[in-house]
Amino acid sequence: MRIANLAGRATIVTDAGLIDLAASSDGAFSSSVDKCVTQLGTIRAWLLNAAPRPIDLTTPSELLGDARLGPVVANPQQIFAVGVNYRRHAEEMGLVVPKEPMVFTKFVSSLCGPNDDVPIPSATTDFEAELVVVIGTKTRDVSVEDALGVVAGYCVGQDFSERSLQMLGSPPQFSLGKSFRHFAPVGPWLTTADEVEDPNDLVIRCSVSGTQYQDSSTSDMVFSVAEVVSYLSGVVELRPGDLIFTGSPHGVGQGQRPPVFLQPGDSIVTSIERLGRIENHAV
């Protein structure tokens, strides 16, 4: 099941068209995508039993790039991110593969829709394709074996990074450099967890203005999705709608020789197998 935030309304995306969840269910379900995250099982059962007909015949491929698409969760309480979580990315950056997840935050004010423009604050702004996890169940101390059970679904994300601010200070403090306006686009929709058999077996790519820089698989993660979720839950309470950026593969701009950073006018296309793609324009 795919649920999009379309013009602020929870919308089921099917191959035959779009279903406004609140309108088609006569108000049984909220139009809020945030509330829907906690009701996915009930929504799925209703969808199978009621078999509502799409009112809007826009197909998923036609919906990609639609400016009405908003972030898959409108108001997450927490946004986590994991640094250096791909082996080949660690190699390209000359870094040691971490022995435990390196966690930072992207502040909620950096969240935006999958096709929003991204203001470039400096000459050292970088791109990082990421698989984003959406939490569906409030939890603490979940085991690795049970961790995927608290996941509502997945989406495509970009961890835009202003490298100068990110590395400023001793030791560096990542969160501010990762949290400029529109530095956390997510979308195009939430693909529910039951549609993704193994989140650590997905092709992930990113191109900038037609040149592909990142082409990898989530199988290259140092810490799997389940391990990341379990690790975080051992410290904080994970809450429905929380987002977890799980790291970026090799090929980031800073890893190029010479480095390639974003400039106004660039088009950044990020895609993940089975989850769709997002496209942001640097301004």
Would you say 175 and 105 are in contact if contact means Cβ atoms under 8 Å apart? yes
Decide which of 39, 63, 87 is a domain's last residue: 63
Which secondary-structure segment (H or E) carries 50?
Answer: helix 40-50
**Do residues 212 and 235 both lie within one domain?**
yes
**Do residues 17 and 92 both lie within one domain?**
no
Q: CATH number, domain at 216?
A: 3.90.850.10
**Do residues 121 and 195 both lie within one domain?**
yes
**Do residues 269 and 213 both lie within one domain?**
yes
What is the maximal distance between C-alpha atoms in the chain? 58
Number of domains in the chain: 2
Per-residue pLDDT tens over the stretch 166-214: 988 888 889 999 999 999 999 999 999 999 999 999 999 999 999 999 9
Measure Cα distances from 270 to 45, 84, 122 in Å: 32, 18, 21
* Mean of per-residue pLDDT scores for the chain: 97
Per-residue pLDDT tens over the stretch 144-167: 999 999 999 999 999 999 999 998
Whether the predicted pLDDT of 272 surpasses 90: yes
Q: What is the pLDDT of residue 82?
A: 98
Decide which of 46, 63, 80 is a domain's last residue: 63
**Do residues 13 and 149 both lie within one domain?**
no
**Do residues 40 and 179 both lie within one domain?**
no
Per-residue pLDDT tens over the stretch 214-254: 999 999 999 999 999 999 999 999 999 999 999 999 999 99
**Do residues 118 and 53 both lie within one domain?**
no
CB burial of residue 99 (10 Å; 0-12, 13-18, 19+): exposed
Per-residue pLDDT tens over the stretch 94-111: 889 999 999 999 999 999
Decide which of 63, 87, 116 is a domain's last residue: 63
**Do residues 12 and 92 both lie within one domain?**
no
The whole domain housing 58 covers 2-63
Which secondary-structure segment (H or E) carries 60?
Answer: helix 60-63
Q: Which residues, 6+ apart, have CB-to-CB distance to 270 below 8 Å?
A: 127, 129, 156, 157, 158, 205, 206, 277, 278, 279, 280
Dihedral of CA atoms 180, 184, 188, 189 in degrees, nearest 10, equals -130
**CA 262 – CA 280 distance, rounded (Å):** 11
Edge-to-edge strand order for the sheet containing 203-208? 211-217, 203-208, 267-272, 276-281
**Do residues 116 and 158 both lie within one domain?**
yes
